[in-house]
Amino acid sequence: MAAKKKEVKVFTLADLGVDPETVGVANAATSVTASTPKPPRTAGERVADEGDAGNKVAEYLVGQKII
């Protein structure tokens, strides 16, 4: 909650001592050649707890290569 009240300081290039000719799109080391939108979210999987839900969740996570 304290972060909401904290003042956000804005610095200019001059404040930081940076030459404006050395920054920006013209001097970028990389460029974006293409982008693709994020796919829509799909429905999740429900696990009914019949005493083995922990095992089912673990199997799902292994199947998704999360663990």
Place 45 in a pLDDT band, splitting at 50, 70 and 90. Answer: confident
Q: What is the DSSP string of the chain?
A: -HHHHSPPP---HHHHT--GGGSSGGG-S-------PPPPP--------SS-HHHHHHHHHHHTT--
Over the stretch 16-39, which tens digit does the pLDDT of each residue have? Answer: 999 988 998 888 889 889 999 999
Look up the pTM and report it.
Answer: 0.37
Distance CA 53, CA 47 (A): 6
Distance CA 65, CA 67 (A): 6
User: What is the identity of the amino acid at 31?
Assistant: S
